[in-house]
Amino acid sequence: MLSAEAAGWFLEHAWLIPLIPGVAFAVIILFGHYEVNGKRVLPWSGAEVGIASMTAALVLAVGTTYQWIHHVRGVAEAEPVTKSWTWWQSGGLRFGLGEHIDGLAVMLLLLVTFISTLVQIYSLEYVRGDRRYTHFFASLTLFSAGMLTMVLAENMVQLILGWEIMGLCSFLLIGHWWEEEANSRAALKAFLTVRVGDVGLMVGTAIMFGASGTFTISGLQAWANNPSTGHTVLLWAAIALFVGAIGKSGQFPLHTWLPDAMAGPTPVSSLLHSSTMVVAGVFLVARLYPVFHAGLLINVAGQHFNLIAVIGGITVLIAAGLAFVQNDIKKVLAYSTVSQLGYMMMGLGVGAWVPAVFHIFTHAFFKCCLFLCAGSVAHTGSHHSFDMKKDMGGLAKKMPVTFITWILASAALCGVPLFSGFFSKDEIIDSAGHLHYPVFMIVGLIGAFMTTAYMTRATYLTFFGEPRGAAAHFVHGDHAHDDQHADAHDTHDAHAVEPVHGRPLGFAKTDSAALLTVPLLILGFLAVVAGYINAAPFKIHLFESWIHSSIGVDIPEGPTFEWVKALPSIALVVAGFLVSLALCKQVFGTAASRLKGLTQRNPVLGAGHRFLVNKYYLDDLYEKVIVHGIAHPIAAAAYWTNQHVLDGIVNAVGIGGRKTSNWIYKNVDQRLVDGAVNGSGSVARGTGHALQPVQSGKVSLYGALLFASAAVGALVLVLVNS
């Protein structure tokens, strides 16, 4: 390992990258609403602090990236740059905070700061006038700080710290408009589902520490690569850690929280689905790759499989299937994210580490762009609605910037040749076949067809055909129906309409404002060109050379690119577009067609459609079977125990205490204490009455008594001394 001091100023001070937005969060919370003489200390209510902090972090990330590229130039195996401070020590156990910088960390530092900066600029317009404007920017800034802390982590304790900060912020941001019950439920669902996975992360970390005696990333990688390390401990550590990755990155079967997370504001959805939160699980697998690759390799019927590839392959297909039946444009993109995360996991599982990590990079740009395009459509063209069937259609000409950037990003997502997604996703598919995982190569090809098909459907419903609902008012300039249409939204699905919260209700006359469209143009451009830093068809492998040595283990050599091997993927992308376009015209067009209402007429197709609409009934399984079958009996047993055991004990103690107090009152207080007091009073009163005659006031009587007393005393002395 190379010390930070020997590597350059930016590499040495990379720890400032998460620290700056972390401090900015505190400033926004403390001073966002603070006023002096009736004027706000922060004129933009804290938004300027969030944007400034992310811009500063981006500048540092660019400098760090530059120095890392210089550091690895001409070096076959570049050592990570590390720095650590001890913040707590008990005996020989040391807990540190620091930085572990390699190609993987540098890539994500640059990605997170860049995407976060654009999203915060976009949010200036998108959440303008929101009732919790300051808290939104504070949570968004801390969200990015959490991801950066995790990426830069020198040890597992620090990684878990960043991991949990993101979990907290996702809860706050998904439930940002908590007044709507659906949003609160979505936030709780996300928080609790991810917590299930987090238990696995904690257990896996404990197993690794118990076996290796270290929390550091470098130490754990060396421990996993050591031939003397037993496979059993690697297996159980990897399984536990992978449960955490499944929960965080929305892999099957813990993917159900991710689409519901669309209840949050669209900038949150964009950031969460492109470069933070859901990428964290994939990052964990990539960071501790030696543990996973060695620990989860299994043999089935003579074929080698890695459990990561199995889960990733399943996720690719089931999420793509669910995207076909969504009417909410953000939920289509959410299931698309789940499917693409499946590609990343599948790539890691088959040994295609570089293509999988490269897909994190390219996916961030086009997925962020797609979500922000959806937000632009909702903000400007569909009256804050995300329902493609009710409130969209025919928007291509009216919103040209949004439409063009949507098409560019969709092409990258579908893997159209020469767009960024093609260079990463096709490499994963090709590597699966090259590394003797033919099943997963087929899964990847099917996923490519399905991705193109559902994105064609979403594009057609949003930008083509006849404008419907709010889009019709926008396209035709019919402002007279604004209030009427706003009232009609009350009957929509809870996730299909975002609350306005101070935003103007009227429709715009053209495309969205510059604060929305400029980030789209930047991201749309990157959706095209980002793949060219690792374009195998053109023998460009810059990304691979910068990131290759990040895991301390030999990565299998990838296949040599040949266009003939890419033809099946290209053909399926074209087929997905043509088939889906033809079906969309038949089903959603104005002309009569026998395909319309087919799922209502055909019982088999209807059953399949309901199966998809109900999300494979996994939510019912979790909520009505597992939760009801486990949580409800536990709750009933706890209630019975409370009523019959705890309350019985409390009541018995109360009754016993009451009886005891009554006995004490009657016998001790009334008879003994009061009796003694009253008796002493009676004696005193009797004595007083007996002595009363003595107190006559006559001096002769007092003298006689004194003389009598002296005589009695003298007599006693005589008797005693005789």
Which two tokens mark 535? 């374009």
Please, what's the b/e burial string for 238-266 (b: 16 or more CB within 10 A of its CB; e: otherwise)?
bbbbbbbbbbbbbbbebbbbbbbbbbbbb
- DSSP-based three-state secondary structure for 438: helix
* pLDDT confidence of residue 21: 97
Identify whether 168 is part of a domain. yes
* pLDDT confidence of residue 62: 97
Ramachandran area for residue 93 (φ above 0: left; ψ -120 to 50: alpha; else beta): beta
Identify whether 314 is part of a domain. no
For 288-351, give the DSSP string.
Answer: THHHHHHHSEEEETTEEEEHHHHHHHHHHHHHHHHHTT--BHHHHHHHHHHHHHHHHHHHHHHT
Number of domains in the chain: 2
- The rounded distance, in Å, linking the Cα atoms of 557 and 573 is 27
Which helix H or strand E contains 225, and what residues bound it? Answer: helix 217-225
* pLDDT confidence of residue 483: 42
According to DSSP, residue 130 is labeled -
Contact 87, 97 (CB under 8 A): yes
Question: Which residues lie across from 216 on neighbouring strands?
Answer: 155
- The rounded distance, in Å, linking the Cα atoms of 638 and 646 is 10
- The rounded distance, in Å, linking the Cα atoms of 84 and 97 is 5
Query: Over 468-531, what HEC string results?
Result: CCHHHHHHHCCHHHHHHHHHHHHHCCCCCECCCCCCCCCCCCCCCCHHHHHHHHHHHHHHHHHH
- The rounded distance, in Å, linking the Cα atoms of 166 and 25 is 13
Identify whether 130 is part of a domain. yes
Identify whether 678 is part of a domain. yes
Give pTM, 2 decimals: 0.85
Ramachandran angles phi, psi of 256, nearest 5°: -65, -20
- DSSP-based three-state secondary structure for 84: strand
- DSSP-based three-state secondary structure for 99: strand
For the chain, 722 residues long, the average pLDDT of each consecutive 10-residue run is: 69 95 96 84 91 97 95 81 86 84 94 96 92 93 96 94 94 90 89 90 95 92 90 92 93 89 91 89 94 74 75 95 94 95 94 94 96 94 90 92 96 95 94 91 96 96 92 75 40 56 53 91 96 94 86 75 92 96 91 85 89 87 79 81 84 84 77 71 66 60 69 72 62
- The rounded distance, in Å, linking the Cα atoms of 542 and 69 is 10
- Long-range Cβ pairs for the range 479-483 (8 Å, 24+): 479/506, 479/507, 482/383, 482/506, 482/507
- The rounded distance, in Å, linking the Cα atoms of 455 and 584 is 11
* pLDDT confidence of residue 699: 62
Identify whether 67 is part of a domain. yes
| 160, 175, 190 - which closes a domain | 175
Identify whether 649 is part of a domain. yes
Q: Which domain holds residue 20?
A: 1-175
Identify whether 662 is part of a domain. yes
- The rounded distance, in Å, linking the Cα atoms of 64 and 148 is 13
Q: Exposed, middle or buried, 643 (CB in 10 Å: 0-12/13-18/19+)?
A: exposed
Paired sense of beta strands 93-101 and 297-300, if any: unpaired
- The rounded distance, in Å, linking the Cα atoms of 195 and 201 is 10
Identify whether 710 is part of a domain. yes
- The rounded distance, in Å, linking the Cα atoms of 640 and 650 is 14
Residue 311's nearest CA partner among 242, 414, 224 is: 242
| 175, 204, 221 - which closes a domain | 175
| 175, 197, 222 - which closes a domain | 175
The upper half-sphere exposure of residue 670, i.e. CA atoms within 13 Å in the direction of its Cβ, equals: 7
